[in-house]
Structure 1
């Protein structure tokens, strides 16, 4: 059967990203295309067993069934686990030693959906690890089918997933009140299953109803506006901590008892300290826009910090190469060796709860030691001539005492500050991150850099 308009190379280039497949439904992604991707996934990876899960978006059940159909037609046995968070899908891939497919568009608006794919053991599928071959086979118009199709079955793994997480980060100590904002995403399913089993933990739910139209706010907690409701509720309840999850619940953000957001870099440091106490001298991964406080703390505690590019496929690959016990990204993704090097927002939340329950200070004081520097957060600017901007920035920032590297975009590092500028892979954007020894230093470097970025034609 020849490919349809959705399967020509130009159209596929729009939905096949660096780490996943994502697009608008049905304009860019429909059941026919997802079925073909399922068949191509099996044919190109050689997977004989696949586990498939999906989030709560209205299009997700149909797309998950289409992927399962394509994979089984191509000869793979398929276990369908139904509604799941992305980290539950990773758990299934690891525990069952099967390739995996999660139907989700994570934090994107309701009109979008997509696929996150992995090899057995939750090993990521990206452009360098199979995604390009899948795209090319789909574009060819061929839809592989086996002489004997695979068997499709259903299985509920939610309880086993909760068992695994609670074994990795048991929570005990003083009673806590936690407000959880699921954003109408998959944490509305997984948070009760996991947190509901912890004694002396009072959970105040927010937006636990699974609703892929996101009626209250987008399930993207990295945007400050989407934390407003949680911040107010934590203060109103007199809670000890607030947790915010994105749509597929693989990311987690914290709010302290004052209603103030906690830097993801601070949570990275907190978890790193816990893991190094358990395994002295271990390797900890941090991406290059994490606070410099992270590698400094790891070094002080006798660990080995390793810096990597932004993006989960890079983090996971580096973790496996280095046998790192833990890795953190400033975007709110946290990776664990004992969870098949995969990321889990819920496991990160459990570490935060365990640390807080075992301490006699509020969360704001617990993380204060991990936030000695001032950070700008990520600032995006639309730029057509990115090379011209980078040249102008280099001319302005490079000087005595400054080192420059291009591990991911361009990073300028000084004893008192650092500036990173990274181009988007899919849009004409430059992403700016700045950190300084104090607020005045950060704001000066931020404003100078933005003036250069936004003054270019």
Structure 2
């Protein structure tokens, strides 16, 4: 059976199951769905890619499928996912980003955008149906396209994305800051350096790699934690910044090398830009509701389509100043932001650069080190990690029993304390009478069981995380 499936962010699976005829067929299905649903726009599709070894080949298959469907294809090459989405929306065009985000190099995926922006769950169902309806000759096709025959718009898309932030934040906004850029294999490594330097920061490139490195901005690899701590100790940076593979999730560490949580970066972005309506999944800290700058907090399931739906509903209700973010740090700007005669247009897709710039700007605004900025947020203490190689057929029964069998839950969590409430919106989030939280959920992108902790101190959170992973491992058998 194919490993390809839709998760929290697009279609993903093993490269051997995607490259070739499947990439072609899924793209034909996507275009067919757009036609069936009347989402044709300019009848163009922009195709971008990350820096994985398999991405150029898969992108060529996608481009061939677009052309064979009778649509115009625009090849954008390697660029950040939010830059591709921004360029597509400006052209009233659809888009496909070939990326596996942070997952290992033997996997890859497709992120789909309609002319209106990132697709929703209803679109995913429509794409599946359209794909399954393809005649065998199309499903089995695996054409390659000579990209010299199509328009290339990568440089223009990147330049517009850079200008989006340099124009809004302004020259010298980050003057005096010394920032390390962990380049690894992020598709935004050069873009990030260009933007930070244009805003006045002094940057130092770190650990650039020619092979793909699966940097996860939520469950940090021990080697990344060690590298970042060493750079902070040796170079005296104000911050160290990076992104995941396709640059829709940020990684930011402070002056001592401590990596900031993604929801903290989201809170920092909302506070810096004066955005008062926050839409975020249940995996983000419950401290958000207590923040003095958050007038309205909307909780969703994990995944940008759910956050986007939450932002759209908030807009329909007349809410203003809307921002969405996930626990992985990806920020979705749901409202235009205006200040000092400059406007930052809404961009309702996950973006890594905006939260990085807002965090750096808060250092300048407050005159405090990044650790001090974080402390002022009173964001609480959390920790997260995952058990790998846990397929859905193992995690699903465990989660179902945890949600539906109170006796099982109480026995499992007896060392933690009395259960105050259980939230099964996405996975199983258990809230205890002592204020702690243990949240288990299956990853939508990989065979993993994730564990999220809230506790009274950093040490308690880390200890509870180790316990929570061990308890789940034992329960899974």
- Against the structure 1 CA distance between its residues 127 and 233, is the aligned structure 2 distance closer, same or farther, given a 3 Å change threshold? farther
Which residue is 1:393 aligned to? 409
Which residue is 1:430 aligned to? 449
User: Residue 172 of structure 1: CA displacement?
Assistant: 1.3
Quote the Cα distance in structure 2 between the aligned partners of 1:121 and 1:43.
16
Q: 2:347 aligns with which of 340, 346, 353?
A: 340
State whether residues 82 and 350 of structure 2, in contact with CA within 8 Å, keep that contact through their aligned partners in structure 1: yes
1:183-239 per-position Cα deviation (integer Å, ceiling 9, x unaligned) = 12212232233223222x101112345x3x23xx53334324223223311321111
Quote the Cα distance in structure 1 between the aligned partners of 2:115 and 2:89.
6
1:129-157 per-position Cα deviation (integer Å, ceiling 9, x unaligned) = 43323442358654599xxx9x9311222
Quote the Cα distance in structure 2 between the aligned partners of 1:160 and 1:239.
29
Quote the Cα distance in structure 1 between the aligned partners of 2:444 and 2:185.
29
- Against the structure 1 CA distance between its residues 134 and 248, is the aligned structure 2 distance closer, same or farther, given a 3 Å change threshold? farther
State whether residues 375 and 433 of structure 1, in contact with CA within 8 Å, keep that contact through their aligned partners in structure 2: yes
Quote the Cα distance in structure 2 between the aligned partners of 1:362 and 1:18.
34
Which residue is 2:342 aligned to? none
Q: 2:426 aligns with which of 408, 411, 416?
A: 408
Which residue is 1:287 aligned to? 281
Quote the Cα distance in structure 2 between the aligned partners of 1:354 and 1:426.
32
Quote the Cα distance in structure 2 between the aligned partners of 1:237 and 1:440.
27
Which residue is 1:187 aligned to? 188
Q: Secondary structure at the match of 1:182?
A: strand
State whether residues 251 and 333 of structure 1, in contact with CA within 8 Å, keep that contact through their aligned partners in structure 2: yes
Q: Secondary structure at the match of 1:248?
A: coil
- Against the structure 1 CA distance between its residues 372 and 160, is the aligned structure 2 distance closer, same or farther, given a 3 Å change threshold? closer
Quote the Cα distance in structure 1 between the aligned partners of 2:294 and 2:97.
37
Which residue is 1:218 aligned to? 214
Quote the Cα distance in structure 1 between the aligned partners of 2:305 and 2:158.
25
Which residue is 1:5 aligned to? none
State whether residues 44 and 72 of structure 2, in contact with CA within 8 Å, keep that contact through their aligned partners in structure 1: yes
User: Residue 116 of structure 1: CA displacement?
Assistant: 0.8
Q: Secondary structure at the match of 1:375?
A: strand
1:263-284 per-position Cα deviation (integer Å, ceiling 9, x unaligned) = 22221221121232xx5xx311
State whether residues 30 and 131 of structure 2, in contact with CA within 8 Å, keep that contact through their aligned partners in structure 1: no
Of 217-226 and 360-369, the range deviating more from structure 2: 217-226
State whether residues 94 and 120 of structure 1, in contact with CA within 8 Å, keep that contact through their aligned partners in structure 2: yes
Work out whether 1:118 is the aligned partner of 2:113.
Answer: yes
User: Residue 120 of structure 1: CA displacement?
Assistant: 1.1
Quote the Cα distance in structure 1 between the aligned partners of 2:427 and 2:309.
19
Work out whether 1:86 is the aligned partner of 2:86.
Answer: no
Which residue is 1:3 aligned to? none
Correspondences of 1:135-214 after superposition (within 5 Å): 135-137=131-133, 142=138, 152-155=150-153, 156=155, 157-170=157-170, 172=173, 174-199=175-200, 201-208=201-208, 211=210, 213-214=211-212
**Residues paired across the two proteins, number:** 431
Which residue is 2:127 aligned to? 131
User: Residue 253 of structure 1: CA displacement?
Assistant: 1.3
Correspondences of 1:6-405 after superposition (within 5 Å): 10-11=1-2, 14-17=4-7, 19-25=9-15, 27-46=16-35, 47=40, 48-126=43-121, 128-129=123-124, 130-137=126-133, 142=138, 152-155=150-153, 156=155, 157-170=157-170, 172=173, 174-199=175-200, 201-208=201-208, 211=210, 213-214=211-212, 217-222=213-218, 223-225=220-222, 226-276=224-274, 279=275, 282-297=276-291, 300-301=292-293, 303-323=295-315, 325-337=322-334, 338-380=345-387, 382=390, 383=394, 385-386=397-398, 387-390=400-403, 391=405, 392-393=408-409, 402-405=420-423
State whether residues 389 and 452 of structure 1, in contact with CA within 8 Å, keep that contact through their aligned partners in structure 2: no
User: Residue 428 of structure 1: CA displacement?
Assistant: 6.3
- Against the structure 1 CA distance between its residues 402 and 140, is the aligned structure 2 distance closer, same or farther, given a 3 Å change threshold? farther
Normalised to the residue count of structure 1, the TM-score between the two structures is 0.85
Quote the Cα distance in structure 1 between the aligned partners of 2:462 and 2:158.
45
Unpaired runs of 5+ in structure 1? 1-9
Normalised to the residue count of structure 2, the TM-score between the two structures is 0.81
Quote the Cα distance in structure 1 between the aligned partners of 2:471 and 2:198.
52
Q: Secondary structure at the match of 1:181?
A: strand
